[in-house]
Structure 1
Amino acid sequence: MEKTQRTRRVNALQHTPFGDRAAAVRRQDLWVLLAAAALFGLPSGVHGSAQPPAKQSRSSAAATSAGRRPSAVSAVDQTTQPGKQQPSKQGSAKQPPAKQQSHKQPPAGDQHPLEVPLQMALEAQAAFSEVHDYSATFVKRERIDGELTERHYLHMKCRQKPFSVYMRWIEPGNGREVLYVAGRHEGKLIAHETGLKDAIAGTLELEPTSERAMRHSRHAITEAGIGNLIAQMVSSFDRERRYAETEVKLFRNAKVEGRPCVCIQVLHPVPRREFEYHVSRLYIDDELKLPIRFEGYDWPARRGAQPELIEEYTYTKLRLNVGLSDLDFDVRNPQYSFYR
């Protein structure tokens, strides 16, 4: 029957006014195709929109196929300091969880979350290369022998070449002084102790890493200052980006003593030997491009507890390149009490 119908169409087309027989057959077939398209819709692969379909990035596709969200730094605008970090669920009832060695590597092809913090730390390092000396009020709070100290307020002077540090305690320990100059005093620091809490009052020469010298601090005086903080962050970010299990957030418009900053928060959910902190926060001053505050937290001691503060350092009233002289780092300075 199909052959008979086609024969009738061909015979009819022999008398069509549109032209010869072959052309008419082609037009007839075209009409049939157009009618079929109208009836059944466009074939697969043809888009009605003039815009091309959105292209999925390689990293997003890889993350989706792995059943996780793409790893990226989250930029969050915040007008105040970031709130408390949600506690990790790791840990025993009494002691912090033991740190295990991490064997997890970041996915190939993905940008590690620490790439942006590392770049920001390197930019801070470049900015600090223009700083020859500075003075500041230094505020520190540390956990020493398991006990969190009260905040210590110090007047601080630093010089880069030769590396020199002078600190005088404002409170507590009013009047205590420490001075260190690289290459002088046989590599020892000079400390002037005051108050009844010190078994020996007066001026002492101490090895920077000796027990007595570090009785009030987690770090030796040779590690003090903004330059050492930057170097520590560059080293930490560079080392930790070799591993996964890292979450990073940027809190923009955070403030330290009224100064706008970017807060870089790094979180490691699982305790690992490669990670020094559960949570760390580095505050980089928007104007100075230098870090002026750091916080480091340990993993919670028990399930449901808050992370424990390990150390906290803040630089306020920071003045750069003030022209400090040798007298500022001399025990014979008449304003100091080393040998009075």
Structure 2
Amino acid sequence: MPTSSMTRRLRTSANVASTLTLSCVVLGSLTNSLSVRADDAASVSHHAAKFGDSGNDRVSVQKIAVEDSTDQLAEQAIAELGLDNSNVIQQVSATSPMNSLSTKDALAPLMDAQGTAGNPKDHRSSPPIADHPLGWALGFARAHADHIRQHVSDYSCKLIKRERIDGELQTPQIMDVAVRVAQTNQTGDVSPMSVFLQYQSPRTLRDRRVLYIEGENEGKARVRKGGGALSYLVLSIDPHGRQAKEQSNYPITDIGFDKIMNRLIGLIEFDMETDPTGNNTEVTYFRKARVMGRPATHIQIVHPSKEGGVTFHRANAFIDDELHVPIRLEVYDWPTAEGDAPELKEEYTYADLKLNVGLADAAFASTRLKGKLKGPVGLTKTDLKVSPNAVAKD
């Protein structure tokens, strides 16, 4: 456990739980730069001493919980990804953020020597970073938001998602995801934000496909039902409607790394202006964490009590130190009884994450909702050159 000297106290808005999960959004159940590739390592084989800065570093190891899974397909997929391995997450001891504001420190790879970041022309009246307990987190978020806006145009990944719906923890959902950020080229042509998903598990959702293109189809997502009976049916679903919310906490319109960072910045700034004392929040920064072999910075936020209307007990965010995007997010509720463990509310993990791969228009063609899916979910322009018939024409 980190000591008090390693822990900063801060006051976090009641909406932080929602913010931490916005980049992991998928549509819910219906009726019932250069290409950067993340390592495929299923587990961490390095000994803790390889990560430590001294012989006194401590190692905390945990695994992604799958004990509640009742779906054999989901269990098999999680095992194949290595997410049930006890070493999927590994980190050395906590560090004080006040001693880590340096470009040479892995804890703040995008921040300047003063720990400041963001738009230098932004003169809003946020308190100076050094004078507020939320300051370091604000600088960290601003730096990464700027990086994402400037350098991330698209990505593909495998998303492993668990959510608690109406008090019941759902079976893990595993899906392949392709996202292209809204862009304007040199001639002024606009490519809208586009999303394509294909579910791999659980069995009741297998081969569900979801296509959403901002501004098209009257703002509705096109959904191939998947699963068992009538799996071929394609329907148009309101992302904010009842059907879309049955087994997902957030609409597909909120997907994207840029949106999670922008929302987080807004909440932190609000708290810095309205709650300067921060009486019910503790934050700890962990250097050199690893998630499925990826180097990451782990930020842990804890609300000891429910005072002030906070909505979660503990939240963990793991930000990739090389890709500079979230790769794992967790939110926990308070224990139901004294001595019990915190109750998992939401959990998201990105595997096989690839940034700026050059997703093709064909990756978001409506024909991909019909018949057998051809080519990878994250279909790139290079894939089309190799296999020009990967997508049928409308």
Normalising by the residue count of structure 1, what TM-score does the alignment of the two structures yield? 0.65
Q: Report matched runs for 1:1-340 at 5 Å.
A: 72=8, 79-81=59-61, 111-129=131-149, 130-161=151-182, 162-172=192-202, 173-196=205-228, 202-241=233-272, 242-243=274-275, 244=278, 245-333=280-368, 336=373
| Other structure's SS at 1:327 match | helix
SS at match of 2:215: coil
CA RMSD between the two structures: 3.4
Question: Gaps spanning 5+ residues in structure 2: where?
Answer: 11-52, 65-127, 183-191, 375-391
How has the CA–CA distance of structure 1 residues 209 and 270 changed in structure 2, closer, same or farther, with 3 Å as cutoff? same
Identify if the C-alpha distance between structure 1 residues 249 and 214 changes in structure 2 by more than 3 Å, giving closer, same or farther: same
The letter for the 2-side match of 1:163 is: M
Q: Give, as a single letter, the amino acid of the residue that structure 1 aligns with 2:207.
A: G
**Counterparts of 1:145 and 1:70, CA distance in 2:** 36
Any idea what SS the aligned residue of 1:253 has? strand
Secondary structure of residue in 1 paired with 2:244? coil
147-156 vs 232-241, greater mean Cα deviation: 232-241
Could you tell me whether the CA contact under 8 Å between 1:282 and 1:295 is conserved in 2? yes
In the aligned structure 1, how far is the partner of 2:163 from the partner of 2:333? Answer: 12
Q: Distance in 1 between matches of 2:362 and 2:345?
A: 35
Larger Rg: 1
Q: Secondary structure at the match of 2:245?
A: coil
Of 312-321 and 71-80, more deviation after overlay is shown by 71-80
Q: 1:220 deviation in Å?
A: 0.7
Does the 8 Å CA contact 2:175/2:201 hold for their aligned counterparts?
A: yes
How many angstroms does 1:176 deviate by? 0.6
Identity, % of aligned pairs?
A: 34
The alignment partner of 2:199 has SS state of strand
Shift of 1:185: 0.5
How far has the Cα of 1:81 moved from its partner?
4.7
Where relative contact order (Cα < 8 A, 6+ residues apart) is larger, the structure is 2
Counterpart Cα distance in 2 of 1:211 and 1:77: 49
Deviations 1:237-273 (A, max 9, x none): 3334443121110111211111111100011112145
Give the conservation status (yes or no) of the 8 Å contact 2:158–2:353: yes
In 1, the alpha carbon distance for the partners of 2:308 and 2:197 equals: 33
C-alpha change, 1:122 and 1:210, in structure 2 (3 Å) is same
Offset at 1:280? Answer: 0.7
Q: Distance in 2 between matches of 1:322 and 1:200?
A: 30
State the AA in 1 paired with 2:216: R
TM-score normalized by structure 2? 0.57
Query: Hey, what's the Cα distance between the residues in 1 that align with 2:193 and 2:340?
Result: 41
